[in-house]
A and B are shown apart, each in its own frame.
Chain A
Amino acid sequence: DVKVTQSSRYLVKRTGEKVFLECVQDMDHENMFWYRQDPGLGLRLIYFSYDVKMKEKGDIPEGYSVSREKKERFSLILESASTNQTSMYLCASSGWARTDNEQFFGPGTRLTVL
């Protein structure tokens, strides 16, 4: 059974803290993605990665960074958490295919920044 796992389902942090969100996939997928989901705004892409050590900015990268040292793991880092980063964070992965790029999602991490 294919799987994308995220390190925490719920996380509460304080303003200014450094926050790490971890995502692991077991499908040997080349591509991994971080989204945030807010009511009325749908899913917005923060960063994605095509390969180990490769990263590309998405639509809303400000305030975030990422790390991909191993193929199966993609980390999202909030260098100094702020209250406007309170959100649901979703990780996804996909294989390399020309026309079919179905994404597999983790269960999400609901982050609250106080």
Chain B
Amino acid sequence: SQQGEEDPQALSIQEGENATMNCSYKTSINNLQWYRQNSGRGLVHLILIRSNEREKHSGRLRVTLDTSKKSSSLLITASRAADTASYFCATSASGGYQKVTFGTGTKLQVIP
């Protein structure tokens, strides 16, 4: 069964706006990662947040993690047309360091 569920399934915004995607998961995790996939291509790792961290930044990306609610959010600030892609969260279960479970993804469209 899927560990992560992203919300919304699809999101359309204007260039320059912020985009927020959410991920919920079911069991205890070691870490949570976010990946981006451009149409028809492989996934690219964006950012990893450990279970003992609450917030992390990388450039225009901000990730939060709330382990009490078993949820995470990815914020992309000042979006660009090049950010158009699908975004996936992936969780690594406690005790299982190498295997990750991916959610179903959020499809983001940034309109120029």
Asked if B24 CB lies within 8 Å of chain A CBs, one says no
Decide: B99 and A99 in contact? CB cutoff 8 A: no
The CA of A106 and the CA of B44, in the complex, are separated in Å by 9
Q: B93-112, CB under 8 A of A: which get 1 and which 0?
A: 00001111111110000000
Q: Find residues 54-108 in chain A having any chain B CB closer than 8 Å to their own CB.
A: 58, 88, 90, 92, 94, 96-108
B residues apposed to A, CB below 8 Å: 2, 30-31, 33, 35, 40-45, 48, 50, 88, 90, 92, 97-105
Decide: A90 and B30 in contact? CB cutoff 8 A: no
Q: How far is the CB of A101 from chain B (nearest CB, A)?
A: 5
Decide: B41 and A40 in contact? CB cutoff 8 A: no
The CA of A16 and the CA of B33, in the complex, are separated in Å by 38
Decide: A98 and B48 in contact? CB cutoff 8 A: no
Decide: A101 and B42 in contact? CB cutoff 8 A: no
Residues of chain B contacted by A40 (CB below 8 angstroms): 104
Contact-size category for A? 20 to 34
Tell me if B's interface is mostly helix, strand, loop or mixed: strand
23 A-B contacts, Cβ less than 8 Å apart? A42-B102, A42-B105, A43-B102, A48-B99, A92-B43, A96-B98, A98-B97, A99-B31, A99-B50, A100-B31, A101-B31, A101-B92, A101-B100, A102-B45, A102-B48, A103-B43, A103-B45, A103-B90, A104-B45, A105-B42, A107-B42, A108-B42, A110-B40
Residues of chain A contacted by B105 (CB below 8 angstroms): 42
Beta-carbon nearest neighbor of A110 in chain B: B40
The CA of A105 and the CA of B44, in the complex, are separated in Å by 7
Asked if A12 CB lies within 8 Å of chain B CBs, one says no
The CA of A103 and the CA of B30, in the complex, are separated in Å by 15
Beta-carbon nearest neighbor of B105 in chain A: A42
The CA of A44 and the CA of B41, in the complex, are separated in Å by 16
Asked if A113 CB lies within 8 Å of chain B CBs, one says no
The CA of A4 and the CA of B98, in the complex, are separated in Å by 17
The CA of A43 and the CA of B103, in the complex, are separated in Å by 7
Residues of chain A contacted by B31 (CB below 8 angstroms): 99-101
